[in-house]
Amino acid sequence: MSYSRKFNTGMHKWIGVLSLFILFTSACKKDKTELVKVPLVVTDYYPNSGAQGTLVTVEGTGFSNKADEISATFSGVKAEIVSASSTAVVMRAPASATSGAIIMKVNEESISIGNYTYQELSIQAISPVNGAAGTHVRITGAGFSSTTGPAEVYINGKMAVVVSASDNLLVAEVPEDAGTGPVTVKVNGKEASGQTFKFQVISGIKPASGGKGTRVKISGGGFDEVTAGNHVDFNGKLALVTEAAEDYLVVVAPADVQTGPVSVTINDQKATGPVFTVVPMPVIESVTPLSGPSGAEMTILGSNFSPHTDENKVTINGKSTTVLTATPFKVTLTIPGGTGDGKVILNVNDQIVQGPDFKDQSLGISKMTPDNGLSGTRVTITGTGFSATASANTVTFNGLAAQIVSATATSLVVITPPALTSGPVKVVNAGQSALSPVNFNRAGVMTLAGGPNQTVLDISERGASIAVDSRGNVFVMELNNHVIKKITPEGVVSIFAGSPTRETGNQNGTGTAARFNFSFNSGIVIDKQDVLYVVDGLNNSIRKITPAGVVNTYAVNLNGPGKLAIDDNGDLYVQTQYSLTKVDKSGVRTAVRGFYGGNEASRPVIIGPYLYYTDNDNLLINRFGLIDASNLRGWAGNGEFGNSDGPKNQSMLAIPKGFIYDGKGNFYFSDGFKQTTRKLNITLNELSTVSSQSTSGSYKDGGLMDAEFRNRDDMAMDKDGNIYIVDAGNNAIRKMFLK
């Protein structure tokens, strides 16, 4: 028993020792296996010529840190090894050698370095060793002087301009597109090459726009392959370098990035590239559809998108999609399917914005035509997953059921409900529900006062002007009768000031006691206190009318005044026969500009420091600065007669008039010839059509695309964004509500 215990104990000890030995052996083998030999490679050597004793530097990999493990010969003659490291060896050209090959041996492994020429001409060093085109490189050496001709300098084989020269120093300017390569000097038929010059160039950046955090790839050459060796700035703001290679860098735009050039600095040498433009965060206005099956096309509308498809990345509930097309305002993509329900996320050059929820299902609404109207409007809903049996579908407008006229699997025709209000449209079928991409707006045109065969108004004379106060009362000039009429929000019409008696003097008074003498281009505006300013054209004056109807003369002797505008300070700008005249709140007049060129029958409008006016002779909308006197003719319109939408300088106009501004970046006007309402977004610089009609010379209330006018003229806007239009041909004031 004791023997057995002793034996077992001994065996355990031996087993333990054996296990340790095996582990140690395995570790040694593992360490030995992991030792990877760096290959012996020469990347550069310099100079390649010189006198005896010249120090020659060889650069590469796989060298030894021990000088006694390295040997070298010049044409078979042994050279002295001055210093050694794993990447560079310095050796001295032996005195007794002749021109020929340099051979280096590292631990008995030989490698050919290149040829060395014994001569007076030699390049010892260059400084700087890197830089962009235009950099001045100092080349030190010997034998640069010549009696037969000046020394020539080449960088990577391209001739450089020698800025200055002496026997042992040359200064040369790096040529355009030099590229990376050796610096070579030629003198008296002899040639010497020195160190390689690393040519720094930024050939492009992508993306070229974005904001803080945008990852930008800088393409070019001469970059340091170690990230810390490259200092990148965006218009002077230092950026983080995340990847580096000889021909590209990946950087992250800094938090305080500003629009300006991108530069790369290496060893204190800067190369400047293209401009990186800082753009606002992307904005999603609508996503169509908000539900649908795999393979359907989705459209995202908004602003600040990239026009390059690969710079817009869209995910649905975290799943990537394929972007088909892209503009700054629109992105289309293919719904991948299998996404589940979740958020639509748009990433534009690392600027991320969250969109609405998307439902992964067969039922979806892609479009409504029209997307606005009044009760009883016929609307076509296009999409997928509808039932071809009309009664199997339920359609509601902001919660109110609509009448379904017809149905297919991809289209529903419905009639809007009687008590219609603005809001979302919902389709329900087979237990699934889908929302419209945009709300259906209760929008359209209704007659506020007047109309064919009505005598309550007399505004058929060309040039009738209107204004609206803070309470929604509309004031309209009856040019034939020389009175101003007031129309309440309920459509009640009364004379506010003046009497149907022409007066050649400026007779003041209250209400009908006052007298006017209007011309066809007389205008009217209203200030923030609901005070009216009226051009009394044939009396060459401006009259002021308080909310109580008290009329006073504000300015006289204006020499043929026409339409007028008012700025935020309450100062007036009136078109006269030969100029634009400013009349301040004290009545002081100043000629803003000589011959004006505006259309006397069309109201100008002031937005900030600029006045906008029509130039009917050239079919343009022009503007000029009220402060800086800048003149931008042809600001909108391409000079051709027509009614096309799109970029403002490429769109066509036809007799624009009645300018109004909503204070939100939208500029509205009437196109009297085409009987349309046009909108110009001055942020996007795009023209669009708000309302139009298929026929002219008619009269009809209805949706924005259904209502009809005859000879539209001036317009005004109330505080709620409703537009009032003079419909001279129908002797009516029409009210257009957009929502």
The DSSP annotation for 189-234 comes to TEEEEEEEEEE-EEEEEESSEE-TT-EEEEEEE---SSGGG-EEEE
Side chain identity at residue 606, one-letter code: I
* Cα angle, residue 602 at apex, residues 676 and 563 outer, rounded to 5°: 145
CB within 8 Å of 629: residues ≥ 6 apart: 593
pLDDT tens sequence across 637-685:
888 887 888 888 888 887 777 888 988 888 898 876 778 898 988 877 8
> What is the C-alpha separation between 117 and 51, in angstroms, rounded?
8
Phi, psi (rounded to 5 degrees) for 440: -85, 120
Adjacent-strand bridge partners of 533? 525, 544
Structure tokens at 505: 């003097």
pLDDT at 2: 37
Q: Quote the distance between the C-alpha of residue 460 and its chain's center.
A: 46
Q: Which residue has the tokens 């390049």?
A: 123
Q: Quote the distance between the C-alpha of residue 210 and its chain's center.
A: 8
202 backbone φψ class: left, alpha, beta (φ>0; ψ -120 to 50): beta
- Which contacts of 720-723 are long-range, i.e. CB under 8 A and separated by 24 or more positions? 720/472, 721/662, 722/472, 723/660, 723/668, 723/677
Q: Is 16 helix (H, G, I), strand (E, B) or coil?
A: helix
pLDDT at 149: 83
**Residue burial 83-97, b: 16+ Cβ < 10 Å; e: rest:** ebeeeebebbbbeeb
Low-confidence ranges of the chain (pLDDT < 70): 1-35, 594-601, 616-617, 627, 629, 672, 694-697
> What is the C-alpha separation between 467 and 660, in angstroms, rounded?
10
Measured CA to CA in angstroms, residue 526 lies from 65, 143, 164, 300 at distances of 89, 87, 74, 40
Phi, psi (rounded to 5 degrees) for 39: -65, 150
Q: Are 88 and 57 in contact (CB under 8 A)?
A: yes
pLDDT at 18: 42
User: What length does the chain have?
Assistant: 739
Q: Are 114 and 58 in contact (CB under 8 A)?
A: no
Threshold 0.75, pTM exceeds: no
| The dihedral sign for the CA sequence 562, 566, 567, 573 | positive
pLDDT at 280: 94
pLDDT tens sequence across 135-185:
999 999 999 988 778 899 999 999 999 999 999 999 999 999 999 999 999
pLDDT at 381: 97
Count CB-CB contacts under 10 A for residue 609.
13
| The dihedral sign for the CA sequence 177, 182, 187, 188 | negative
H-helix or E-strand spanning residue 298? strand 297-303
Structure tokens at 636: 């909108």
Query: Mind spelling out the 3-state secondary structure of 552-604?
Result: EEEECCCCCCCCEEECCCCCEEEECCCCEEEECCCCCEEEEECCCCCCCCCCC
* Cα angle, residue 471 at apex, residues 469 and 477 outer, rounded to 5°: 35
